[in-house]
């Protein structure tokens, strides 16, 4: 091996000892091993795979984790008792009654109607039922313009106006005896109704455009019932973006139709993606090196073309006036194209590309052996998966566990949000009443002094809550629900990584492959992880969940304080976000390698993380190269799978291959099933290649352990594959016989 030759030429004893350790020569004693490698674990010359005799690790964290799960289950049961998901499914009127619920007076009135939409400021207010106007349940939305005053005049001749208008009042009216001022004061009926459409079980204005002008019910001007003439722009300002929401409903219906037409084609495409992922993993065993070198040569060629293009532009600008000016002379310009008219710009680009080209070539020259090791590991990973095919089924189990966690969290969150009794608060259109946001009783509010002190005030339903200890801590329970959810999600992923690491480690440390591979390696590794290392997996997951929880808190504070921040606080907050994002990535990387060590030696999380970190630091160059090569090949595989399926889906849904196969012909948006197939294919490929990535990580850790533990002699032979032996140039009589 190149490293061995370079280090053996040195006369320094320390370098000689380091070389011996790096190439796998075993120290004379356990103390010397620990001193040289910084590894506190006992050196076992007879190590032949994952330790069988184990003890439970991180028991305290395991107990805490179990207690949290028990508390989580209890919280779900309590929320189930107090919550009512109907409060999410059905809109609620000003009195807290559900619209459209069976067995109630509003059973046939499933749509919510707002008396005065002009008092509402935004759609978010409408959806959250906080609009300061009376809300009632109706069977259908208004279909025409009509004010209370207009209804009074034709009443004596045509009672149909009264009957039509009466259905939008709190209670049916026999004759319009009250004046407009009395109606407004008593809040029995709306002053005017407008053509509306139901959406989200609520009546929203029927906006449309006519010759580029916004209209409501084909009108641009209309009466608001209070003697004022309004236009459609004013109504849109009161309920902005409502027309877009209604358009979204139409688009949603068309999308649903496309899904109904193409669902079997989508399933077929996803099935082909799964088969293609299997095939790609099989072919990767033979084409990993080819794919890598094609990519490298392509990068070199693209950079070379960029250098030539920059030189060409630099030469063409030689005769242009003002092309000799510098960026400093030009100053700050909003038109970026002006900078590309300077020779200095193209010269700078050319120099940067030349430096990048030289770095890539030097990296290939000096790291060629490391790259060969990484490619060999990719091929070895394919062999491992071929010998342990049950690992490709494990993503399905992980998907089931994650689905259970997500569903439980969502259901618990809904029940917590809908716990309690209806709470009513005082709202006024102007918002100037001193009793604003105070709780009230809608049954007696009209007779109280508050109604007289604040003209136009309403006692409307606000939310569900209560004064009990449980209701006072609803927000805390929601935070607990989110935290345990993150903990469980990370635990499920950690369990999968540890189980897969144990299975692939059993493959690597089998001396004669596949004869020495133990039966059911994945099942054995999974049971071992659950039985002995639940605490360690929970410990690693807890660290990650705390970081993610802090990131969510930062994001929440950023949104709440977005309008009240100065530049310094924004800068600090962005720095914190960036730091914790990086910290999360580092912790995920360290956790993965710690789980491999746990699967191998059965030690606790901290000791396994330390041993994995020390091992990787001692081989940092190999780690960097292997990680980048592996990432590229796996990303390439995902792109190839989703890209191939995407091209086939595009040809099918656009009827480009109708001669070969007849696809759907009546699609509203062909990109809807196309994107579904592409994204679904990528997710499926990601599930398969996540197993492959864990396989590579495990084999790499075992590979480094093998180098440090063994020397290729008859007493301590290497367990690595022949291809790795050849690349490492380890000459041994024992390995040559193998």
State how far the Cα of 303 lies from the Cα of 252, in Å rounded to an integer. 45
For residue 435, is it left (φ>0), alpha (ψ between -120 and 50) or beta? alpha
End-to-end CA distance of the chain, in Å? 19
Helices (H), 156-241: 160-166, 180-186, 232-238
CB burial string 542-581: b at 16+ within 10 A, e below: bbbbebbeebeebeeebeeeeeeeeeeeeeebeeeeeebe
Q: Report pLDDT digits (tens) over 574-609.
A: 888 888 889 998 899 899 999 999 998 889 999 999
Place of tokens 């208008």: 165
690-725 pLDDT tens trace: 888 888 888 888 888 888 777 777 777 777 776 666
Dist. CA 172–CA 152, nearest whole Å = 15
For residue 391, what pLDDT is reported?
85
Across the range 232-256, mean pLDDT stands at: 57
Geometric angle at alpha carbon 705, from 738 and 500, rounded to 5°: 90
* Phi, psi (rounded to 5 degrees) for 165: -70, -30
Higher pLDDT, 357 or 43: 357
pLDDT(217) > 50:
yes
Question: Three-class SS of residue 126?
Answer: helix
Q: Is 700 helix (H, G, I), strand (E, B) or coil?
A: helix
Q: What is the pLDDT of residues 637-687, one digit of tens each?
A: 787 788 888 888 888 877 766 555 655 556 677 777 888 888 888 888 887
Q: Return the domain boundaries, the chain.
A: 89-227, 248-323+336-387+619-728, 478-618
Is the pLDDT reported for residue 732 higher than 50? no
Polymer length of the chain: 738
């Amino acid at each position: 091996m190149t490293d061995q030759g370079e280090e053996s030429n040195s006369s320094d004893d320390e370098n000689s000892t380091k070389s011996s350790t790096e190439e796998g020569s075993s120290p004379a004693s356990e103390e010397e091993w620990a001193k040289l490698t910084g590894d506190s674990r006992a050196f076992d010359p007879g190590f032949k795979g994952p330790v069988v005799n184990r003890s439970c690790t991180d028991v305290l964290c395991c107990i805490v984790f179990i207690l949290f799960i028990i508390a989580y289950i209890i919280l779900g049961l309590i929320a189930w008792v107090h919550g009512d998901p109907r409060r999410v499914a059905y809109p609620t009127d000003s009195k807290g009654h559900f619209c459209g619920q069976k067995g109630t007076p509003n059973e046939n009135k499933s749509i919510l109607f707002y008396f005065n939409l002009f008092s509402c400021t935004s759609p978010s207010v409408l959806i959250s039922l906080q609009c300061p106007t009376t809300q009632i349940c109706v069977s259908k939305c208004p279909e025409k313009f009509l004010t209370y005053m207009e209804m009074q005049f034709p009443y004596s001749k045509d009672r149909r106006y009264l009957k039509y208008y009466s259905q939008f009042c709190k209670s049916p009216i026999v004759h319009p005896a009250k004046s407009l001022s009395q109606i407004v004061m008593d809040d029995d009926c709306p002053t005017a109704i407008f053509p509306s459409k139901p959406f989200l079980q609520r009546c929203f204005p029927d906006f449309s455009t006519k010759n580029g002008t916004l209209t409501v019910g084909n009108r641009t001007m209309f009466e608001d019932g209070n003697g004022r003439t309004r236009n459609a722009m004013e109504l849109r300002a009161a309920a902005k973006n409502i027309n877009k929401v209604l358009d979204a409903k139409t688009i949603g219906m068309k999308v649903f139709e496309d899904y109904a037409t193409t669902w079997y084609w989508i399933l077929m495409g996803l099935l082909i993606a799964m088969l293609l992922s299997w095939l790609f993993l099989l072919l990767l065993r033979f084409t990993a090196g080819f794919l890598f070198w094609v990519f490298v040569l392509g990068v070199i060629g693209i950079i070379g073309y960029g250098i030539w293009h920059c030189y060409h532009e630099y030469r063409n600008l030689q005769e242009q006036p003002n092309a000799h000016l510098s960026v400093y002379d030009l100053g700050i310009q909003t038109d970026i194209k002006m900078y590309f008219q300077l020779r200095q710009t193209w010269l700078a680009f050319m120099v940067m590309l030349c430096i990048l080209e030289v770095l890539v070539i030097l990296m290939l020259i000096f790291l060629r052996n490391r790259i060969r090791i990484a490619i060999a590991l990719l091929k070895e990973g394919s062999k491992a998966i071929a010998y342990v095919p049950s690992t490709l089924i494990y993503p399905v189990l992980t998907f089931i566990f994650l689905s259970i966690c997500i569903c439980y969290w969502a259901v618990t969150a809904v029940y917590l949000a809908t716990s309690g009794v209806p709470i009513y608060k005082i709202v006024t259109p102007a918002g100037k009443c001193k009793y604003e946001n105070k709780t009230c009783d809608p049954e007696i509010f009209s007779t109280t002094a508050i109604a007289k002190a604040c003209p136009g005030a309403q006692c409307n339903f606000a939310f569900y809550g209560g004064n009990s200890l449980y209701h006072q801590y609803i927000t805390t329970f929601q935070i607990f629900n989110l935290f345990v959810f993150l903990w469980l999600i990370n635990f499920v992923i950690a369990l999968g990584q540890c189980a897969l690491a144990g299975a692939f480690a059993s493959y690597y440390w089998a001396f004669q492959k596949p004869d020495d591979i133990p039966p059911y390696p994945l099942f054995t590794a999974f049971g071992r992880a659950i039985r002995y290392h639940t605490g360690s997996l929970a410990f690693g997951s807890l660290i990650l969940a705390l970081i993610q929880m802090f990131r969510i808190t930062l994001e929440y504070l950023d949104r709440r304080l977005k309008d009240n921040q100065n530049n310094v606080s924004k800068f600090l907050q962005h720095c914190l976000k960036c730091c914790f994002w990086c910290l999360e990535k580092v912790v995920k990387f360290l956790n993965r390698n710690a789980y491999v060590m746990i699967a191998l030696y059965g030690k606790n999380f901290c000791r396994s993380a330390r041993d994995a970190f020390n091992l990787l630091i001692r081989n940092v160059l190999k780690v960097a190269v292997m990680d980048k090569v592996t990432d590229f090949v796996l990303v390439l595989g995902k792109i190839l799978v989703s890209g191939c399926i995407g091209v086939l889906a595009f040809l099918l849904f656009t009827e480009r291959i109708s001669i070969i196969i007849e696809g759907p012909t009546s699609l509203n948006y062909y990109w809807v099933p196309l994107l579904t197939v592409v994204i679904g294919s990528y997710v499926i490929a990601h599930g398969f290649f996540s197993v492959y990535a864990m396989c590579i990580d495990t084999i790499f850790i075992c590979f480094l352990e093998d180098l440090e533990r063994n020397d290729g002699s008859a007493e301590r032979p290497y367990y690595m594959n022949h291809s790795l032996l050849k690349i490492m140039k380890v000459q041994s009589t024992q390995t040559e016989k193998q």
